[in-house]
Amino acid sequence: MSAAVTADRRKRATLAHRAEYAALRGTIGALGALPWDTAVNAGARLGLLGYSPVRIRRDVVTSQVAFAFPDLPRAEVERISREAYASLGRTTVETALLPGLSRQQVLDLVPETHNFECVEAALAEGRGAILVTGHLGNWELGGAYIAARGLPIESIVRRQGNPLFDRYINETRESLGNRIIYDADAVRRVPRALRENRVIAILADQG
């Protein structure tokens, strides 16, 4: 039984969850009818709405950028913050549309890598590999790319609040060859996966 199905049984969806999920699937369906570049650009524009006028956690984002880069002028802080929202919009749409791509199309989305041979060398030793990244760029595409390269990968994820979305996103990941380990199960499942010589992907800023 997949992790996604198990999650769906643990928590019942409310009416609000169903409404959110219906809106999400409707948006994905509409974007899926567009050419890839058009859909991704639309995602960036939708993401920018979170910066203005909706202002989803805008004060938090700008304050954190300013804290990380104290010497930047305010205009540059705001530019970086806006681009973060646009990037999240692009990433969300790319992730939603990934299941419609072939293995080769997934590979084509990553035309260049650096030091990927280190991952292959680690697996050649037969003890698995642990990859650590953050919510930078399209982390979902990273997992799909590794699977498309033919490497066995499992990603540690946090359970989403909406069980319908949780099942959808994890079924999306697994359909691309990226198995799921919920963080609550990581202590038990990660050692076994490493013994099976699999790649373990961790988002270090997930908490």
pLDDT value of residue 207: 58
Q: Domain 102-207 falls in which CATH fold?
A: FAD/NAD(P)-binding domain (3.50.50)
Summarised one tens digit per residue, pLDDT across range 128-138 is 999 999 888 88
Instruction: In whole angstroms, give the CA distance from residue 22 to residue 65.
Output: 34
Task: Look at 205 and 122; give whichever has higher pLDDT.
Answer: 122
As a whole-number percent, the residues of the chain with pLDDT over 90 amount to: 80
Q: What's the rounded mean pLDDT across residues 54-82?
A: 96
pLDDT confidence of 106, banded at 50, 70, 90?
A: very high
Domain residues of the chain, as ranges? 102-207
Sign of the torsion formed by the C-alpha atoms of 176, 181, 183 and 189: negative
Residue 198 contacts residue 153 (beta carbons within 8 Å): yes
pLDDT value of residue 28: 86
- The Cα-based distances of 23 to 4, 59, 99 in angstroms read 20, 26, 19
The radius of gyration computed from the CA coordinates of the chain, to the nearest angstrom, equals: 18
Instruction: In whole angstroms, give the CA distance from residue 203 to residue 189.
Output: 16
Instruction: In whole angstroms, give the CA distance from residue 200 to residue 60.
Output: 31
- Whether 24 shows a pLDDT value over 90: the answer reads no
